[in-house]
Chain A
Amino acid sequence: MRMRKCSLAVILAIVAGMFSLAPASANAADELRLGLLVPKSGAGTDWGLRQEVAAKMAVDEINAKGGVNGARLKLVVMDTASQPDQAVLTTRKLAQDEDVLAIMGPFFSGECEVAFPQAVRLMVPIITASSGKPGVAANNRPWAFRNALMDLDHLRPGVKKFASMYKLRGKSVAIVVDMKDAWAKNLGTNLFSKVLSEVNVKVMNLNDLVTFNTGDTDFTAQVTKLKRMKPDGIALAALYGEAGGLALEMKRQGLNVPVFGASGIFATALIQRAGDAVEGWVATSAFWPQKPENKVKQFVADFASAARAAKLGVVSPDHFTAAMYSNIYITAKVIKDRKITPKTPLKDARLAIRQGWEALKDYPAVDGSTSMTANGDAVKTPYVLYVKGGQFVAAGQ
């Protein structure tokens, strides 16, 4: 009996102790505080951790050069755990408790859908580097922005290049789609037919898409079906793992047609796995790590060391990482141009940052020239690449 009452007291004491663990964060008066929302657990961990490294790298670089307007940048990082509820909580915390000037992130469109309205209410600029779902920024004007390349903005140039490279105007392609992945499913069932028709390429199987699921390893049935269709080309909405498997099966069965794969297949892992089976395949990307430009080479090298230092192992930056890096740099530039200092009243500083992002035009970011549009989505540089000699190279003019 005493044990039971005692155990309750013990538990409550421990819990009370945990409550007292939460320290109030010190607000140094001479810093420019920026908030960062990334998923450090859950479905987006890999992307979130890399974005964090990139953001910290940018902040450190800027501070090493003397900060902005004489003050240091401070990054306040919070984990959204890939959950919308956490996104709401952390957005409000950053805006109200941490008094940040602007919020970078969150990562997922689902998180953005709920974080953006909160930021609008609290009048703090929020800029994601990764959400792609149509309309999310447009519905949350004027405080929400997306520094991310929209699907159609890289599909259109990609498909156009694909059609001209392989002379497919007036010919027919078959669509192959991974139905389990939300992004791929949207591409395959919705966007592909739209952009293909724009370049006069016919789709032969609109009502009979060739499908598979993420995680599948056997593509015999799909390739057999494709062979029977005799397509002039294939539009593949998939991720690089399954794309590699499909390529190997196509080689095995002797199906040799041009393939367009969009951004999902843009990964060195694709070529590592499928070798010459993917020779000539066309991909798109919002960032090209092998771009022969000094700024890009420097970024990739610096990121590799920073990631190693953060114990992430050997990782390379993807377009989410590059966009987050640019987010920090663009915000720093806006702060500099609008002469914001730690002494600027918070409300004015936030408004000025918002206006700076609204007016963004042709900023030379590491992932390409970036401008902002009136509906909150960025205009960025799409890259169209194809596999030549075992490497992704830029598709010619």
Chain B
Amino acid sequence: MGETLQVFIGINVILAIGYYLTAMTGLLSLGSGAFMAIGAYSTSILTVKFGWPFPPAIVIGSIVTGSISVVMVYPALRQLQGIYFAVATLALLEIVRVLFMNFEPTGGASGFRGMSGTTLPWMYFLVFLTIALAWVISRSNLGMRMRAVGQDEAAAMSSGINPARIKMIAVWSGACFSGAAGALYAHYVFFINPEMFGWTRSLEILLFVVLGGGEVLLGPVVGTIILTALPEVLRSQGGMRMIFYGVAVIAMMALRPRGLITRDTVQALAAKWRIC
């Protein structure tokens, strides 16, 4: 598998896990693209304008994205539920896009170039770090509370959980990961402009998680790998490529409506291989 495909899969896995963490609390967020953009631009400003080396830049860029996400999402979080929250995150996408379109220091609509630094080892390191962190969160007390909020907010509140705070933490961590993915992306393609982080990207990530399975961590990972690699694998089919892809997606939805990997799958596999 070529290097580019591996890098794109890795970036998408990090984005999908970021989305998954937010979705655990029941939030339908279409803001992946916006956070990816903020991470990409802030990290690139550090490496290109201030000459920082890539690793510390991506850490700061990721944290910056998380912080900005908290500020931007908090008002929506307090007032809006479900689909209305999703619409608010769409608005966020548009705000971020217009902001960068008019922000001249990073090129505005013409785009921003000169960043580089993503290598395969770094990418794998960050992917495994993301999976590890998400796994730890998922199995921890925090993860339990996130799932509680996701399943029944009222019941969670009556158990003493503060849903707003839990959701905030979920959004923050999801945005940090998305920001890191954005930084990786920028430093691999060497050029970014605001158009690259639109709603199609957010929707794509949603698809990976929905098809892969939103119940357990393995779902987004498997879904992302398969759905990112599939169009490339099908390239040999020429014009029929996207038709095959569509058929594959429909087949997955029809045969596995809860996702490719569900909680049952993991339990069955664990029982079979006698793990935990």
**A14 in the interface, Cβ–Cβ < 8 Å?**
yes
Q: State which of A15, A84, A118 has its C-beta within 8 Å of the C-beta of B196.
A: A84
Contact with B along A111-140 (1 / 0, CB 8 A): 001100110000000000000010100010
CB-defined contacts of A18 to chain B, threshold 8 Å: 230, 233-234, 244, 248
CB-defined contacts of B234 to chain A, threshold 8 Å: 18, 21-22
CB-defined contacts of B232 to chain A, threshold 8 Å: 22, 89
Interface with A: B59-67, B168-176, B249-257, which one? B249-257
C-alpha gap A21/B248 in the complex (Å): 14
Q: State which of A11, A78, A113 has its C-beta within 8 Å of the C-beta of B191.
A: A113
Q: Size of chain A's interface in residues, with CB distance under 8 A?
A: 33
**A93 in the interface, Cβ–Cβ < 8 Å?**
yes
Q: State which of A4, A15, A19, A113 has its C-beta within 8 Å of the C-beta of B264.
A: A4
Contact A11 B260 (CB under 8 A): yes
Closest Cβ of chain B to A42, distance in Å, is 10
Q: Size of chain B's interface in residues, with CB distance under 8 A?
A: 40
Closest Cβ of chain A to B231, distance in Å, is 8
Describe B's contact surface by its main secondary structure. Answer: helix
List CB contacts (< 8 Å) of B208-264 with chain A.
226, 229-230, 232-239, 241-242, 244, 248, 251-252, 255-256, 260-262, 264
Contact A10 B193 (CB under 8 A): no
**B189 in the interface, Cβ–Cβ < 8 Å?**
yes
C-alpha gap A78/B105 in the complex (Å): 35
**A7 in the interface, Cβ–Cβ < 8 Å?**
yes
Contact B264 A92 (CB under 8 A): no
Most buried by A among B191, B232, B237, B239: B191
**A23 in the interface, Cβ–Cβ < 8 Å?**
yes
CB-defined contacts of A113 to chain B, threshold 8 Å: 111, 113, 191, 193
Q: State which of B189, B233, B235 has its C-beta within 8 Å of the C-beta of A78.
A: B235
C-alpha gap A135/B251 in the complex (Å): 45
Q: State which of B4, B193, B196, B256 has its C-beta within 8 Å of the C-beta of A7.
A: B256
Contact A22 B190 (CB under 8 A): no
Q: State which of B2, B189, B236, B260 has its C-beta within 8 Å of the C-beta of A96.
A: B2
Closest Cβ of chain A to B7, distance in Å, is 9
**A40 in the interface, Cβ–Cβ < 8 Å?**
yes
With A114-B190, A114-B191 in contact, is A19–B268 under 8 Å at CB? no
CB-defined contacts of B251 to chain A, threshold 8 Å: 11, 14
**A181 in the interface, Cβ–Cβ < 8 Å?**
no
For B3, the closest partner residue in chain A by CB is: A92
**B265 in the interface, Cβ–Cβ < 8 Å?**
yes
**B5 in the interface, Cβ–Cβ < 8 Å?**
yes
With A85-B8, A97-B2, A117-B190 in contact, is A8–B260 under 8 Å at CB? yes
C-alpha gap A78/B4 in the complex (Å): 15
Closest Cβ of chain A to B14, distance in Å, is 15
Contact A139 B113 (CB under 8 A): yes
List CB contacts (< 8 Å) of A13-35 with chain B.
14-15, 18-19, 21-23
**B195 in the interface, Cβ–Cβ < 8 Å?**
yes
C-alpha gap A89/B264 in the complex (Å): 36
CB-defined contacts of A4 to chain B, threshold 8 Å: 256, 262, 264-265
C-alpha gap A7/B262 in the complex (Å): 12
Contact A110 B236 (CB under 8 A): no
Contact B189 A84 (CB under 8 A): yes
C-alpha gap A18/B226 in the complex (Å): 10
**B151 in the interface, Cβ–Cβ < 8 Å?**
no
Closest Cβ of chain B to A78, distance in Å, is 7
Closest Cβ of chain A to B24, distance in Å, is 22
**B110 in the interface, Cβ–Cβ < 8 Å?**
yes
Closest Cβ of chain B to A7, distance in Å, is 4
Q: State which of B2, B195, B233 has its C-beta within 8 Å of the C-beta of A110.
A: B195
A/B interface sample: 7 pairs, CB < 8 A: A18-B230, A18-B244, A21-B234, A22-B235, A78-B235, A89-B8, A113-B191
A interface with B by C-beta (< 8 Å): 4-5, 7-8, 10-11, 14-15, 18-19, 21-23, 40-41, 78-79, 84-85, 88-89, 92-93, 96-97, 110, 113-114, 117-118, 133, 135, 139
Extra 11 A-B pairs, beta carbons < 8 Å, given A14-B251, A22-B236, A117-B189: A8-B256, A11-B251, A18-B230, A19-B229, A21-B234, A22-B232, A40-B239, A113-B111, A114-B189, A117-B190, A139-B113
